[in-house]
Chains A and B, each alone.
Chain A
Amino acid sequence: MATKAKSAAKEIPAAERDPHGEPLAVQEKKELEAAPEPEHPGRSYLPYTDIYETEEALIVVMEIPGVARDAVDIQLERDVLTVRAGVDFSKYSELRPVYTEYNVGNFSRSFRLSGTFDAEAITAKVADGVLTLELPKQSQARAQRIPVG
């Protein structure tokens, strides 16, 4: 069996290979149905998103495969967080599709946040097609421990 990277053909450790023991099911891309309709034709997709909270911050994690770091636009207006991500389709120009299972489009999604966050303090990073936003909580929104006197 010839692999491209023969030298690097190391086995994925069993623990890495099987974190939850679950085979991955396909998540069909959810198409965005915007109302009112956008002025440009074509489709946009809703990125699959995880949102969780730590003591200091709210973390929003979005899957935006095919989007370069500089094509991500993040806005926070009052309590609505909007993320738009433009997919880089220029590399498809030389390719002729013969068999396809998914379509390609820009990503867009908004969330109404409970609580107030400082737009200036949001940090964002993109790695392996995943956008991670960290929204630090303002001090009054943090849980305070009240000592019983």
Chain B
Amino acid sequence: MITRVTNPFDALLRLQRALDATRESRWLQPTTSARGAYPLVNVFQQGDDFVLVAEVPGVRKDQVEIQVLKNQVRLSGTKAPVFGDDTAVHRRERSSGVFDRIVSLPVEIDAKGVKAECHDGLLAVFMPRAVHERPQTIKIQ
């Protein structure tokens, strides 16, 4: 008998597979034209609400601006790596510049309830569904 051991590598593998499975998702397709603009985003569902996560290493909290209108979220800002003066560059791979991306969700968002965090180079935007978009439970007579 094999005892199932919970192992963190399993959890990571499961997450990676789950993320892969929605790689081809057409969930946002009719509304968001810009698949693949900076920053790349992952959208998750958490109950009725949505969470958008983007990797923005090197972008400080005060360099990002988030705006929400109806069903759209706009992420804009600057990524500017700092080089000291008087340096000899050996390798330069990190990108820099400005970004401005709008992601449209299939439902309207309650703009007042939106919360955003930027930690460890991850930008997370928590977006509750607008009240009138919440599903109503229908009691069967």
Name the B residues within 8 Å of A18 (CB-CB). 78, 98
> Which of A4, A93, A126 is within 8 Å of B68, CB to CB?
A4
Interface residues on A, range: 35 or more
Task: Select from chain A the residue with minimum beta-carbon distance to B32.
Answer: A99
Q: A24-B38, A41-B9 are in contact. Are A99 and B98 (CB under 8 A)?
A: no
B5: A residues at CB distance < 8 A: none
The residue that B42 contacts in the complex, of A5, A16, A52, A102, with Cβ under 8 A, is: A102
Which size class do B's interface residues fall under? Answer: 35 or more
The A contact surface, by secondary structure, is loop
Say yes or no: A53 contacts B87, CB within 8 Å.
yes
Given A99-B27, A100-B42, A3 contacting B58 (CB threshold 8 A): no
Contact call B81/A50, Cβ cutoff below 8 A: yes
A7 on interface, CB distance cutoff 8 Å = no
Q: Which of B51, B66, B69, B90 contacts A52 (CB 8 A)?
A: B90
A144 to chain B, nearest CB (A): 17
Name the residue on B nearest A87 (C-beta): B12
Interface membership of B22, Cβ < 8 A = yes
Distance of A2 from chain B, by nearest CB (Å): 4
Inter-subunit contact B56/A129 (CB<8 Å): yes
Query: Are the CB atoms of B12 and A59 closer together than 8 Å?
Result: no
Cα A106 to Cα B15 in complex, Å, equals: 12
- Answer yes or no: A49 CB below 8 A from chain B CBs: yes
Quick check: is A96 within 8 A (CB to CB) of the other chain?
yes
Interface residues of B in 59-82 (CB under 8 A from A): 59-63, 65-69, 76-81
Tell me whether A128 and B59 are in contact (CB under 8 A): yes
Q: Are A42 and B13 in contact (CB under 8 A)?
A: yes
Contacts of A103 in B (CB 8 A): 16, 19-20, 23
Q: How far is the CA of A114 from the CA of B109 in the complex (A)?
A: 53
Report the stretch among A63-71, A75-83, A116-124 that lies at the interface: A63-71
CB pair A129–B44 under 8 Å, yes or no, is no
Hey, which bits of chain B sit against chain A, CB under 8 A? 9, 11-13, 15-16, 18-23, 25, 27-28, 35-46, 50-51, 55-63, 65-69, 76-81, 83-84, 86-100, 111-112, 114-116, 118, 120-122
* Residues of A bordering B, CB below 8 Å: 1-5, 9, 12, 16-27, 40-43, 48-55, 58-59, 61, 63-68, 87-90, 92-106, 126, 128-130
